[in-house]
Amino acid sequence: MNAITTRALSGTLPAVAGLMLLTAPAAALDTVDSGFYLGFSYGQTDFFNDTPLCDEFSEEVDEALAGDLGQSFLISEGFAELAFQAECRSDVSDNGTKYFVGYRFNPSFAVEVASIDFGVAGVDLSADLAGVGGTFTGDAAVRVDVSGISVTGLMGLPIGNRASVYARLGLLSWDAKGRGTATGTVSRAGGSGSSVSERFVASDDGADVHYGFGGRYRLTDHVALRAEWERYEVADLDVVSAGLELSF
């Protein structure tokens, strides 16, 4: 081997070695950060005014109160009819949980299925109706449990060898069940009054789009932490959560 060849090799080998060192982490990441995974998330659900069952409960309150009050009080107190649209208010928060399983095809794409319990929304409904000779006031206190199954796709962007950010888009099949008590009071012009109380239940289900974004950090090759924000169009539910992920 002549001197020229020796000098060429001495310059090429370090360059090749350096290139191998630079590409090794990316190759390792592709190998480790793929396959099946499962996990658990815990966070806060914010319920807004369009909570599931608001419309259904408004109808239930109307029927419960009007049914009892109609025969007993409406005619005697001068009410022509009792048909109101109860106002639904539910600006509340509760804790929610999510169990998920998925398959990561590569660091940039995964598909995930999750079982979600959004928690309980407390809903207040109220209505007032004035008539000849008296007034009517109706209220209802309601608790609504919301849960569902979601299927989502996740698009990720790796940041270094362990961290990544991602966006998700999917479909939620949801179920809402509620129970409550409606009360109504008719006050006569002279000051006396009568009241009625009625218990009722309602349920509803459907499917809606949901989306979100989050961040993920791998503690080891098989354990990762993640935090995310999600919006569920079922009722403008916002969920902020943190979770643990185990990959295989």
62 shares a domain with 12: no
- Predicted local distance difference test score (pLDDT) of residue 66: 57
123 shares a domain with 23: no
191 shares a domain with 87: yes
CATH number of the domain at 178, please: 2.40.160.20
Split into its structural domains, the chain has a count of 2
| Mean predicted confidence (pLDDT) in 44-66 | 66
pLDDT one-digit tens code per residue, 97-121: 999 999 999 989 999 999 999 888 7
56 shares a domain with 17: no
| Mean predicted confidence (pLDDT) in 216-233 | 94
Model confidence, pTM: 0.69
121 burial type by CB count under 10 A (0-12 exposed, 13-18 middle, 19+ buried): buried
228 shares a domain with 183: yes
Query: DSSP letter string over the chain?
Result: --HHHHHHHHHHHHHHHHHHHHHHHHHHHHHHS-EEEEEEEEEEEEE-TT-TTHHHHHHHHHHHHHHHHIIIIIHHHT-S------EEE--EEEEEEEEEEEEEEETTEEEEEEEEEEEEEEEEEEEEEEETTEEEEEEEEEEEEEEEEEEEEEEEEEETTTEEEEEEEEEEEEEEEEEEEEEEEEEETTS-EEEEEEEEEEEEEEEEEEEEEEEEEESSSSEEEEEEEEEETTTTEEEEEEEEEEE-
pLDDT one-digit tens code per residue, 120-170: 877 666 665 555 555 666 666 777 888 999 999 999 999 988 999 999 999
69 shares a domain with 11: no
112 shares a domain with 160: yes
Q: Are the C-beta atoms of 111 and 64 separated by less than 8 Å?
A: no
Q: Range of 2's domain? A: 1-31
- Predicted local distance difference test score (pLDDT) of residue 55: 65
What's the angle, vertex CA 87, arms to CA 83 and CA 88, rounded to 5? 130
pLDDT one-digit tens code per residue, 172-214: 999 888 887 777 776 665 656 667 677 777 788 889 999 999 9
